[in-house]
Structure 1
Amino acid sequence: MSVLFTFPGQGSQRPGMLHALPDHPAASATLERAHAVLGRDPLQLDHADALASTVAVQLCLLIAGVAMARVLAAEGARPDMVAGLSIGAWPAAVVAGVIDFDAALQLVALRGRLMEQAYPSGYGMAAIVGLSVAQLEPLIAALHTPAAPLHLANLNAPTQLVVAGADSALERLMECARRAGATLTRRLAMSVPSHCALLDAPAAQLAEALATHPLRRPGPLYLSGSRGRVLFEMDAIRDDLAFNMARQVRWHDTVRHAYERGARLALEMPSGNVLSGLTRPVFSDGRVLCCEHNRLDFLAQQVACAASPA
Structure 2
Amino acid sequence: MSSLLVFPGQGAQRVGMLHALPADVLEEASEALGEDVRLLDSAQALASTRAVQLCLLVVGVACARQLQHTPDYVAGLSIGAYPAAVIAGALDFSDAIRLVSLRGELMQSAYPHGYGMTALIGPDLSTVETLLAAVHSPDTPVYLANINADNQTVIAGSDEGMRRVAERIKGNGVAKRLAVSVPSHCALLEAPAQALAEAFVTLKAPRITYLSSTRARPIHTPEQLRDDLAFNMCRVVDWRGTVQSAVERGVRLQIELPPGAVLTGLSRRVFEHGTVIAFEGARLDTLQALLQEEARRHR
TM bracket (short chain)? over 0.9
For residues 27 and 277 of structure 2, the distance between their equivalents in structure 1, rounded to whole angstroms, comes to: 27
Partner of 1:60: 55
Q: Does 1:150 align with 2:142?
A: yes
**Aligned counterpart for 1:249 among listed residues 234, 237, 258:** 237
Q: Deviations over 1:239-259 (max 9, x none)?
A: 000000000000011011111
For residues 300 and 5 of structure 1, the distance between their equivalents in structure 2, rounded to whole angstroms, comes to: 12
Aligned residues: 298
For residues 236 and 34 of structure 1, the distance between their equivalents in structure 2, rounded to whole angstroms, comes to: 26
Partner of 2:219: 231
Q: Does 1:122 align with 2:110?
A: no
1:177-188 mapped onto 2 (5 Å cutoff): 177-179=169-171, 181-182=172-173, 184-188=174-178
For residues 175 and 192 of structure 1, the distance between their equivalents in structure 2, rounded to whole angstroms, comes to: 21
For residues 20 and 33 of structure 1, the distance between their equivalents in structure 2, rounded to whole angstroms, comes to: 15
1:283-302 mapped onto 2 (5 Å cutoff): 283-302=271-290
For residues 176 and 60 of structure 2, the distance between their equivalents in structure 1, rounded to whole angstroms, comes to: 25
Shift of 1:29: 1.6
For residues 20 and 140 of structure 1, the distance between their equivalents in structure 2, rounded to whole angstroms, comes to: 42
Give the counterpart letter for 2:2 in structure 1: S
Partner of 2:8: 8
**Large movers: runs of 4+ above 4 Å:** none
Shift of 1:28: 2.3
Partner of 1:201: 191
Q: Does 1:192 align with 2:182?
A: yes
Shift of 1:138: 1.2
For residues 138 and 257 of structure 1, the distance between their equivalents in structure 2, rounded to whole angstroms, comes to: 26
Question: Where do 5+ consecutive residues of structure 2 fail to align?
Answer: none
Percent identical among aligned pairs is: 54
Structure 1 residue matching 2:252: 3-state secondary structure: strand
* TM, length-normalised to structure 1: 0.94
Shift of 1:161: 0.1
Shift of 1:86: 0.4
Q: Does 1:83 align with 2:75?
A: yes
Q: Does 1:264 align with 2:259?
A: no
For residues 285 and 37 of structure 2, the distance between their equivalents in structure 1, rounded to whole angstroms, comes to: 26
Partner of 1:104: 96
Structure 2 residue matching 1:309: 3-state secondary structure: helix
Structure 1 residue matching 2:17: 3-state secondary structure: coil
Q: Deviations over 1:132-190 (max 9, x none)?
A: 111111111111110110100100111110000101111121111124x11x2100001
Structure 1 residue matching 2:60: 3-state secondary structure: helix
Structure 1 residue matching 2:5: 3-state secondary structure: strand
Question: Where do 5+ consecutive residues of structure 1 fail to align?
Answer: 22-26
Structure 1 residue matching 2:41: 3-state secondary structure: coil
Partner of 2:26: 31
Shift of 1:20: 3.6
Shift of 1:233: 1.6
Partner of 1:305: 293
For residues 47 and 294 of structure 1, the distance between their equivalents in structure 2, rounded to whole angstroms, comes to: 25
Partner of 1:24: none
For residues 31 and 137 of structure 2, the distance between their equivalents in structure 1, rounded to whole angstroms, comes to: 45
For residues 158 and 260 of structure 2, the distance between their equivalents in structure 1, rounded to whole angstroms, comes to: 27
For residues 153 and 5 of structure 1, the distance between their equivalents in structure 2, rounded to whole angstroms, comes to: 22
For residues 297 and 136 of structure 2, the distance between their equivalents in structure 1, rounded to whole angstroms, comes to: 52
Partner of 1:217: 205
